[in-house]
Structure 1
Amino acid sequence: MIWQGRSRRKPTGGLYKPHRKKRKYELGREPAETHVGERKVKRVRVRGGNYKIKLFADKYANVYVPSEGKVVRAEIESVVENKAHMHYARRNVITKGAIIKTSVGLAKVTNRPSQEGVINAVLIEQAS
C-alpha cells in the first residue's frame, strides 16, 4: 500500500482532523519499477491531457561515452548498485542514479526511466 497525503499526526502527537476528502488531482500511482528484460511499456494519461510512457522493462540503454563524445545503444546485463533502495540491485530494478553493467562497461542512469520510457546513462568505467 502506498500512503498519500499529509500525516494525520501533529509533531506533538495529536491528531489533525481532515477538513475535506481526497481529490482526484492528489492521486498518486504505483511505481513502475523498471526491470532488465524484454521491452514492456504502457502509456498513461496524466493531468493536462499529457502522457507519460511507463517503462516496465527494457534490455537496452542509450549510453553516452564522454571520451568519444558519442551515444551508443548498449545491452544491459544487470544492475550493480542502486541507492534508491537496498534491494533494487538484487532485483535488477533500474531507477535514476542506478549503476548498470552494460556491454560497453559500467554506466550511471541519468533519467527517470519509469516515467520517460527510455534508459539514458553515462559511461563511468570502460569494459576491458
Structure 2
Amino acid sequence: MRPSGRNVDEMRPISIEVGATKHAEGSCMIKIGDTHVLCTATLEERVPPFLRNSGQGWVTAEYGMLPRATHTRMRREAAAGKQGGRTVEIQRLIGRSLRAGVDRQALGERQITVDCDVIQA
C-alpha cells in the first residue's frame, strides 16, 4: 500500500483536457493522480539555423515547475539566473520524445515549441 492509500499495482487516475488555454495553437491539462501539468504548443514559421533550407521542421520543448507546485516552495530557476541540470534533462527528454513521433518532413520549415509547466507535483 502506498502512502496515498493506492495499491502498488493500482494505476493513478489519468485525465487529459484539451483546449486548456485560449491563445496557444494547441493546449492541454494533463492530470495523473495529483500531478497536474499544463502543456501548450506554439507553431512558428521558422526553424533553427541548422535546418534552414532543409525542408524539415523542428519540435522542441521547455519545462518548468511553479514555485509552489510541491510541498515546500522552490525558488524560480529564472530568479537564480540558470536552469538546473534536472530541468535541462527533462526538457531534452520531452523534446526527443516528441520529435520521435513527428514527421518533420511533413511539418515543413516550421517549429513547434511545447511548453510544459508543472502546476502541482
Q: TM-score, normalised by structure 1?
A: 0.24
Higher relative contact order (CA 8 A, sep 6+): 2
Between Structure 1 and Structure 2, the one with more strand by share is 1
TM-score where L is the length of structure 2: 0.25
